[in-house]
Structure 1
Amino acid sequence: MGPDQALYVVATPIGNLADMVPRAVEVLQCADLVAAEDTRHSQRLFSHFDIDTPLVAYHDHSDDQRTARIIERLEAGETVALISDAGTPLISDPGYRLVREARNRGIRVVPVPGACAFVAALSAAGLPSDRFTFEGFLPAKSGARARTLEQLAGEERTMVFYEAPHRVADTLDAMAEAFGEHREAVIARELTKAFETFHMAPLAELAAWVRADSNQQRGEIVLMVRGAERKAGATLDDESQRVMKLLMAELPPKRAAAVAAEITGVNKKVLYNWGLEQK
């Protein structure tokens, strides 16, 4: 018996095809249409599991007309499955606009769980996982990346990032600058594939290790960074708070703390940590 009429959000393997769950195979085989991030990429998966359902491309650059056509088919009573190139759709992958529009139209949206790269990486990383934040991809440009990392410097939860292989070494350098070179981190690469790699080290050491081996700058990469140590709450007097608020309206926290320290005489690190708490 095939799946009921709905939009199915189907997770697919991130490398090892044996990780495909039976329910996902059934849904893809029985659907009327599969919306895929890259139809050519998905053909390997379809060939392996004898799936001959029609494919249509759906990605972040798809126009509103493509979304509308898929919605029309759903409203006509057809079953549509949404997949990305690998892992769970919408997790740093396309699909949000389609899922949102389906829900707005009262169409049932059904998740079919399976592989997800950051969940797999975090489960085997050896970093605290009771509380974490998934940050996805950082900005590609160095200035925007540095500002984003500066805002995360006081984050106490484990932080999880995706990164492109050609940027991973520069990103680790930027993390060491923003978080401190001794902050513990893990790189997880090529999960479930032949050259799966996990490596844990302080950020500065991890950056050097990656730069020394070009193989570590290839494939699909997850970076995980231990959160900041919880600090005893140092309180600021009213005047120092007033100065910091005025400066932070115009400056990033790090620069605001440096200027405020000169004005108030309060320790720069105390001012900086207070500023991060206000974000």
Structure 2
Amino acid sequence: MNHYMKNNNIQIGRLYIVATPIGNYSDISQRALNTLKKVNFILAEDTRKTGLLLNYFHIKKKLYSYYEYNEKKNTTKFLEKINKGYNVALVSDAGTPLINDPGYRMIKLCREKYLNIRIISIPGPCSAIVALSISGLPTNRFCYEGFLSNKKSKRIKRLYELKSEYRTIILYESTHRLLKCLYDIKNIFGKKRYIVIARELTKKWENIHGDYISNLIKWIKLDLNQIKGEIVLIISGYKKSNNIKDKISSKIKKTFFSLKKELALKKAINITANIYSIKKNLLYKFYLKNKD
């Protein structure tokens, strides 16, 4: 498995990015197993979880912890080991490394500085792609967002930015925050947005359920077991509506009708249109359909 440089015959190791199962150990590839058996050591996001996987397949290998909080500090150290001839595998807790997991700094530094190190991907499962493939929503174009921010203000800001995203949206969400996130999506995207929740993929308790967001929230509240485990949300993309009511938010309506009580129709339309940067003609059509 060693790699020899042609110029000066210096032995250089290889960096293997190895995908592991997202739940069902049977999903690991033979190539992944062969790689994990042959490398000198393994970098793991959580050595305990990776240790269980290795024990299951009777693989004895030195494990080093490589996670979010030590990634920056340890990247150069491990790349130097590879440069000296060690072959290294990088794995995450589950699925494909770097997809919302540590590893980006290491690959970036390889591409910028350690050009002699060959990076080899050992492909395999990824929960975002697994969920998308069975969601029933469009798969030809999609937008992967990972986890939204823990902070409500940042989460809401990002959701507003995604509101008009026409591609299918993929989110990861944690158990304790799922309902809060769904309420935020409902308030910003509207109650008619279709969402598929994929939970515990490939595991014994796998569950995939899709519905309009209002119904989805009700379904979850009837059985809070539905928020346990690893969760992926697949959200239908924005569809442009021809319905005037859908184009005018409740905030705009409230402002317009408040002004209409005090001012002439034309002035109320002009002021509202200027405040929210919408077409006056759209407001006038809305008024004609709802003046009663």
What range describes the TM-score normalised by the shorter chain of this pair?
A: 0.7 to 0.9
1:140 aligns with 2:155: no
Give the alignment partner of residue 206 of structure 1, picking from 207, 216, 224.
216
Are the aligned partners of 2:71 and 2:102 in contact in 1 as well (CA < 8 Å)? no
Secondary structure of 1:99's counterpart equals helix
- Provide, for residues 132-178 of structure 1, a one-character-per-residue CA deviation record: whole Å limited to 9, x for no partner: 11011011122211111111111110000000111111111111111
C-alpha distance in 1 between matches for 2:128 and 2:41 = 28
CA apart distance, 1:222: 0.3
Which residue does the alignment assign to 1:93?
101
Aligned position for 2:49? 41
Measured after TM superposition, the shift of residue 263 of structure 1 is 8.9
Tell me the secondary structure at the aligned position of residue 85 of structure 1. Answer: coil
Q: State the distance in 2 between where 1:78 and 1:96 align.
A: 20
Equivalent residue for 2:267?
none
**CA distance, structure 1, for counterparts of residue 71 and residue 49 of structure 2:** 20
SS of equivalent residue, structure 1 residue 125 = coil
2:18 is aligned to 10
Query: 1:177 aligns to what?
Result: 187
Aligned to 2:118: 108
The one-letter code of the counterpart of 1:130 is N
Q: 2:275 aligns with which of 254, 260, 263?
A: 260
The answer to whether the Cα contact below 8 Å between 1:164 and 1:221 also exists between their aligned partners in 2 is yes
63-72 or 199-208, larger mean C-alpha shift: 63-72
Measured after TM superposition, the shift of residue 66 of structure 1 is 1.5
Select the residue among 136, 160, 163 that pairs with 1:153.
163
Going from structure 1 to structure 2, the CA distance change for 1:110 and 1:214 (only over 3 Å counts) comes to same
Task: Provide, for residues 76-135 of structure 1, a one-character-per-residue CA deviation record: whole Å limited to 9, x for no partner.
Answer: 011100000000111011111111112221111111100100000000110111111101
Which residue does the alignment assign to 1:162? Answer: 172
List alignment gaps of at least 5 residues for structure 1: 233-256, 269-279
CA contact (8 A) 1:3 1:30 kept: no
Q: 1:209 to 1:10 in 2, by over 3 A?
A: same
Aligned length: 244
Q: Which moved more, 1:2-11 or 1:53-62?
A: 2-11
After superposition, the CA RMSD in angstroms is 2.0
Q: 1:130, 1:263 → 2: CA distance?
A: 32
Tell me the SS of whatever aligns to 1:154. coil
The alpha-carbon distance between structure 1 residues 70 and 262, as it changes in their structure 2 partners (threshold 3 A), is: closer
Amino acid aligned to 2:275: A
After the TM superposition, which parts of structure 1 deviate over 2 Å for at least 4 consecutive aligned residues? 2-5, 257-268
Give the secondary-structure state (helix, strand or coil) at the position aligned to 2:20: coil
Using structure 2 for the length normalisation, give the TM-score: 0.79
Contact 2:273 2:279 in 1 (8 A): no
In 1, Cα distance between equivalents of 2:239 and 2:279: 26
Match of 2:226 in 1: 216
Residue 201 of structure 2 aligns with which residue?
191
Aligned: 1:77 with 2:92: no
The share of aligned pairs that are identical, in percent, is 40
| 2:195 alignment partner AA | A
Q: CA deviation at 1:63?
A: 5.1
- Which stretch of structure 1 is more off in the superposition, 145-154 or 222-231? 222-231
The question of whether the paired residues in 2 share the 8 Å contact of 1:3 and 1:27 is answered with no
Q: In the alignment, is the contact (CA less than 8 A) between 2:273 and 2:280 conserved in 1?
A: no
1:55 correspondence with 2:63: yes
Moved more, 2-11 or 146-155: 2-11
Residues 1:129 and 2:144 aligned together: no
- Alpha-carbon offset, residue 265 of structure 1: 3.5
Say whether the 8 Å CA contact 1:261–1:267 is kept in structure 2: no
Residues 7, 81 of structure 1: 8 Å contact kept: yes
Is the contact between residue 2 and residue 85 of structure 2 (CA under 8 Å) also seen in structure 1?
Answer: no
Q: What is the TM-score of this pair, normalised by structure 1?
A: 0.82
Cα deviation, residue 189, structure 1: 0.2
